[in-house]
Amino acid sequence: MLKRLVNDVTQCKLLIIEDSIEQHDNSLLYSCLKARCKEPNCQIEVFLFEHSAEEIEKTLQLKQRGVAHVNYHDFYSNAQSWILSQDPPDRNTHESLLHGIVDVENGTNRVVVADSLSAFGTNLNEYGHALFSLKCKRNVLQVILLIHRELTSDESMKCLKYLSQASIRPLINQPSFKPSVSSTSIRDLCQVEIKKDSGKVILQNELYTIKNDFEVDSRVWVPEDEDALPQNNHVDVNATAKHDVTFSLQLTEREKAQKEKLVLPYTKESTESEESSKIYYEADDGDDFDDEDPDEDLEI
Amino acid sequence: MFDDLNRLAGWTLQTLPRYEPVLISDMEGADCSFLLHHFISAYLKADRRIVLVSLSQTFPHYAVAGSKASSVNLNRARQSGNLKFIDILSKSPDEYLFGKDGHILAKNLYSDVQRCVEEQGKELEGGVVVIDDLTNLLCVGCPREDVARLIQYLTALCKRHHCCLVTVIHRDIDDDDISLFDSCRIFFSYEITLKGLKSGHSKDVHGHLDFLRKVESPHGRTMYEHAPLQHYRVTDRRLQLFAPGTSNAVL
């Protein structure tokens, strides 16, 4: 379901991608943006409040690859509209700019991508109105919005959930799953919610991977049964809580090799002799050494 | 300059942050303001330019603290042009503190910093803009959203001019549902957090220090690298960092 959401612009009109300031993640937004660039006859309007256009271009290399139908609107670096706006409360010129860009009735289909809710206003009324009007426009194929859960009030979240047809939120702190992030891929869990036109709502946990050129693959994820017995009781003794100790409990490869090479003295002595071990006793002067068997009367 | 902090962060005079912004914060009774002097003296010793914006202290305060902590002469640095001081406190109270619409405060402050940074041009590359401190803007009525916007544009300005931004937020003062710290931290690459001891004041251990570095993966996900949690003790001249439970008072 996630893979379809990322790759297919017709799945929903308003897609909300949620992340956390404790785990900031632009990967799904970038994947959606990359996928939208493949749409024919479609203008992509990217409103940026947390990244500069150069940073996005460095990561995605859209212009370099000849994607001409992407327009960056950099509100991260350009403070002019903020400085010049003197009306209290600060009237958000992005909203008028947004409508000015998107409201052009020349038949061009557009996809609007924003990395912050600020693209649509500074309060609930403003962005609720902006998002609703965008949804109603025929030439707007899709709006994709990244929001940070902790920076969005509960009221705003309710409004966004009501307006959106699909949302993706991270699934964190799952005891049976550990996300992995490397220079070539990301593997993590998310929860996907889709509202169908029929009124049906599908909520699904999915395991997704992002590889190579921001290609997303996903499948349904079911947590392991917590009541089931563990398959093995192996405890990773090398696991180190990095945050709690100031010394390393892990062995490097070199240290492991040296440990394997080490021959303990008693081990060496025992391998030299092929006979079973014997005990040699030499009695002292004070010992009363008796050759008789002390258990003779037990009749064993 | 605090060598223990540099060791923890992996910084040297040659590898100080160039355009990765640093956010210093404190909570639960700790006070992180002394860490600003570390950055001021480190960048001066590395022969880099500094823009110091003060909303809380006068220049003599920084000069005295700098000479005690690291034997750097801020007066000489200011005269030679290596240090630019934007003194908000000495401006007319009407201009910044009273009678002004809160929305104008942050914008005027940005304009002042932008003008100072752009005047220096390439000479500021590798230098630092230090702002002491953001919480005072909240205290004089500037809305949280405007302070967050100010930080957003300042980080962009500093990245454009290849200089670092260092600022302070006192988390205990902010009691909004959405805190200023949460609003601003997404723009910073380093976070240094000082936290007081839950057991109360101690003359041998002043609190916890948490150092966090953020790196973005090629696919756009932020990876968080925490340094091991440290206890700290600060004197006029030195910041001592040690593993929890290894204070001299305990051993």
Closest CA to A37 of A73, A11, A72, A77: A72
Out of A23, A89, A242, closest to residue B228 by CB: A242
B51-92, pLDDT tens digit by residue?
A: 999 988 889 999 988 888 777 888 999 999 889 999 887 765
Residue of B nearest to A79 (CA): B153
Task: Mutate one of A52, A58, A83 to test the B interface: name it (highest B CB count within 10 A).
Answer: A83
Mean pLDDT of A244-257: 78
Whether the predicted pLDDT of A15 surpasses 80: yes
3 state SS of B138: helix
Q: Do the Cβ atoms of B182 and A246 come within 8 Å? A: no
Q: Do the Cβ atoms of A153 and B185 come within 8 Å? A: no
Confidence at residue A240, expressed as pLDDT on a 0 to 100 scale: 45
Confidence at residue A235, expressed as pLDDT on a 0 to 100 scale: 47
Annotate A24-55 with DSSP letters as a single string: -B-HHHHHHHHHHTTSTTEEEEEEESSS-HHH
Q: What percent of chain A has pLDDT over 90?
A: 15
Q: Do the Cβ atoms of B218 and A24 come within 8 Å? A: no
Q: Do the Cβ atoms of B221 and A24 come within 8 Å? A: yes
Confidence at residue A99, expressed as pLDDT on a 0 to 100 scale: 62
Strand-pairing partners, residue A210, are A186, A216
Out of A59, A243, A246, closest to residue B220 by CB: A59
Out of A151, A181, A245, closest to residue B182 by CB: A151
**Distance between CA atoms of A188 and A172, rounded to whole angstroms?**
9
Whether the predicted pLDDT of A73 surpasses 60: yes
> Which residues of chain B are under the pLDDT cut of 70?
91-103, 175, 249-251
**Torsion sign, CA atoms A76, A80, A86, A92:** negative
Mean pLDDT of A66-72: 79
Cα distances (angstroms) measured from residue A207 to each of A32, A181, B37, B151: 17, 13, 47, 35
Task: Mutate one of A19, A20, A26 to test the B interface: name it (highest B CB count within 10 A).
Answer: A26
* Banded model confidence at residue A253, pLDDT cuts 50, 70, 90: confident
**Distance between CA atoms of B195 and B31, rounded to whole angstroms?**
8
Out of A49, A122, A183, closest to residue B217 by CB: A183
The lowest-confidence range among A263-272, A290-299, B29-38, B203-212 is A263-272
Confidence at residue B87, expressed as pLDDT on a 0 to 100 scale: 86
Confidence at residue A90, expressed as pLDDT on a 0 to 100 scale: 45
Out of B111, B157, B226, closest to residue A242 by CB: B226
Q: Do the Cβ atoms of A27 and B177 come within 8 Å? A: no
Confidence at residue B166, expressed as pLDDT on a 0 to 100 scale: 94
Confidence at residue B246, expressed as pLDDT on a 0 to 100 scale: 79
ipTM computed for the complex:
0.84
* Banded model confidence at residue A269, pLDDT cuts 50, 70, 90: low
Q: Do the Cβ atoms of A183 and B218 come within 8 Å? A: yes
A79-109, pLDDT tens digit by residue?
A: 877 776 655 444 455 556 566 665 555 567 8
Output Rg (C-alpha) for chain A, integer angstroms. Answer: 32
**Distance between CA atoms of A43 and A296, rounded to whole angstroms?**
102
Give the dihedral of Cα atoms B110, B113, B116, B119; nearest 10 deg. Answer: -50
Confidence at residue A247, expressed as pLDDT on a 0 to 100 scale: 74
- On chain B, the residues whose CB falls within 8 A of the CB of A23 are 222, 224
Mean pLDDT of A124-136: 82
